[in-house]
Amino acid sequence: MSSVVLNTLEDFYHLLSQSLNDNQMVKLLLSKYRGADKSLNRLSIRPITLQNEPVLSFVYEHQTNHITKNHSYAAALNEINQLVGEDFKSAYLTLSNVEVQIEFSKKGKLKISHHKAKQGQAVAATHNRQKNRFVDIQRPFLTALKVTDKQHKLIPAMSNKWKQINKFIEIFSQALEVSPHDKSTPLNVVDFGSGKGYLTFAIHDYLRHTLNNDAQVTGVELRQALADLCNEAAQTLDHQGLDFVCGDVKTHAPKQTDVMIALHACDVATDYAIHYGIRANASIIMCSPCCHKQIRPQMQSPELFQPMLQYGVHLGQQAEMVTDSLRALLLEANGYTTKVFEFISLEHTNKNKMILAVKKDKVNEKEQQQLLKQIADIKDYYGISDHCLETLLAESA
C-alpha cells in the first residue's frame, strides 16, 4: 500500500470504496465536529453484516448516549461524502494494511497523510463481519449462561439454544426497524416466563452493546430460584438496566413497556402476556405460544371433519391453529400488523411458532369491525364460548 497515491478527497473516496469491495476496511472515525448538533462528539463507522447483507454501521457518539444507524454501502459512501470536510474536519480511516488521516485547517485547506497499518488490522478486517453477527459468540453472558465454555466455544448440547437465540434477535431487530418506536430513546422491555434468561440476556446485550440503546429489560419469572440465579449473573456481568423479578404474568403490575416478549409461556400465560402488551401499548409484541389447552375442550367441529379428527394429533393441531389465529386476529383488531410463522425449523425444537405483532401508525376502524366479525364467526363455527385473550380484552375495555 506504500504505492497508494492520496492527494485529493476523490483519491480517499476511491480507496474507501475499494476497501469495502475487498473487505479490507476496519474502521472510519470522523472527528472535529463543527455541525449544528452541539451534543455530538464524533462518528465511528464500521462494516458489519445485518440480515446477511453487508452494511456500514454508523455510531453517532453523543455526550450522553450513542445512536446507531446502518446504511447500505452505496448510501453510506454518499453520506460520508457529505460529512467529511463539512461537519467533520478530521477523518481517520483504518484499513487492513494502511491508515489514512485527513485534516481540514480552519481555512479549509486539506492535508492527507498515510502510513502502514499496525499489525493485527488485517486480522481485524478479515473477522470484522464474522464478529458482527446478531449475537457475538464471544459475549460474556453466553459463558455465564453455559451456552459457551470459558474459551467462548459453543457447548455442543446448547447448539439448539444458540440457534434459537440468534434467530430471536434477528427477528427482533427486523421488527424494531419497522416499529414506530423512536430508536434513539431507551427501550423498556419485559420478558414474561424468562426462565433461565437466555433470551432476556440476549435482547439486553443486543440493545445495550450492539445498538447502544440504554434499554431497561426486566425478566418476569414464576420461579424465585430462577429469578435469583439470573439476577446474580446480571450483577456479576455488570449488565446495567437488566433485572429479574419473581412474578406471575397474570398479576404483574403494568408499567411502561415498548417491547413485550413471552416465549414458551404455557397455555393462557401467552394470552395474559399479549393482553399486558396491548394494554401497555407496546410497539412490539413477540410470543411463541406453547400448550393450547383452553380452547380444545370447547371446540365442536363439523361432522365432515370427524374422519380427520379421529386422529388425536389433528385435534391438537386444530386447537393450536384456532387458538393462535384468534390471538393474531385480536392483535390485528387492536392496531397491530401481525405475522404468524415458524421461527426456527422443527429439527431444533418442536416449540417453533411465533406470533409477532408490530404497532401500526394508524388504525382503520372499518377494518377493525371486519376483524371483530371474523373473530366472532370463527368462534361461532367452532362453538367456542370463551377465548382467554378476548375475555381479558373485554374485561379491561
Ligand X SMILES: C[S@@+](CC[C@H](N)C(=O)[O-])C[C@H]1O[C@@H](n2cnc3c(N)ncnc32)[C@H](O)[C@@H]1O
Pairwise CA distance, residues 144 & 236, whole Å: 9
Cα-to-chain-centroid distance, residue 342: 17
Tell me whether residue 42 or residue 163 sits nearer to ligand X (CB atom).
163
Piece in contact with ligand X (CB under 6 A), picked from 110-118, 258-266, 274-282, 352-360: 258-266
Q: Is 242 one of the binding residues for ligand X (CB under 6 A)?
A: no
Min separation Cβ 286 and ligand X, Å:
11
Q: Is 95 one of the binding residues for ligand X (CB under 6 A)?
A: no
Tell me whether residue 203 or residue 222 sits nearer to ligand X (CB atom).
222
Which residues lie across from 148 on neighbouring strands?
154
Min separation Cβ 265 and ligand X, Å:
5
Q: Is 293 one of the binding residues for ligand X (CB under 6 A)?
A: no
For 309, the 3-state DSSP assignment is helix
Tell me whether residue 116 or residue 146 sits nearer to ligand X (CB atom).
146
Pairwise CA distance, residues 289 & 312, whole Å: 20
Q: Is 269 one of the binding residues for ligand X (CB under 6 A)?
A: yes
In terms of DSSP H, where are the helices of the chain?
Answer: 9-21, 73-83, 121-131, 140-144, 159-178, 198-205, 224-236, 269-279, 306-309, 312-333, 365-382, 388-396
Min separation Cβ 240 and ligand X, Å:
22
Tell me whether residue 33 or residue 192 sits nearer to ligand X (CB atom).
192
Interface with ligand X: number of residues (CB under 6 A): 19
Q: Are 356 and 274 in contact (CB under 8 A)?
A: no
Q: Is 259 one of the binding residues for ligand X (CB under 6 A)?
A: no
Residue whose C-alpha cell is 452541539: 38
Min separation Cβ 255 and ligand X, Å:
16
Measured in residues, the chain has a length of 397
Tell me whether residue 99 or residue 205 sits nearer to ligand X (CB atom).
205
Min separation Cβ 166 and ligand X, Å:
13
Instruction: Write the DSSP string, 172-233.
Output: HHHHHHHSSS-TTSPPEEEEET-TT-HHHHHHHHIIIIIS----EEEEEES-HHHHHHHHHH
Tell me whether residue 226 or residue 356 sits nearer to ligand X (CB atom).
226
Kindly tell me the burial class for residue 58, based on how many C-beta atoms sit within 10 Å of its own C-beta (0-12, 13-18, 19 or more).
Answer: buried
Piece in contact with ligand X (CB under 6 A), picked from 58-66, 136-144, 192-200, 300-308: 192-200
Tell me whether residue 45 or residue 287 sits nearer to ligand X (CB atom).
287
For 359, the 3-state DSSP assignment is strand
Parallel/antiparallel/unpaired status of strands 25-33 and 88-95 = antiparallel
DSSP 336: E
Q: Tell which one of 28, 43, 135, 220 touches ligand X (CB under 6 A).
A: 220
Q: Is 248 one of the binding residues for ligand X (CB under 6 A)?
A: yes
Q: Is 58 one of the binding residues for ligand X (CB under 6 A)?
A: no
Min separation Cβ 11 and ligand X, Å:
52
Cα-to-chain-centroid distance, residue 184: 14
Q: Is 26 one of the binding residues for ligand X (CB under 6 A)?
A: no
Tell me whether residue 124 or residue 268 sits nearer to ligand X (CB atom).
268
Q: Is 199 one of the binding residues for ligand X (CB under 6 A)?
A: yes
| Residues contributing to the site for ligand X (CB under 6 A) | 192-195, 198-199, 220-223, 226, 248-250, 263-266, 269
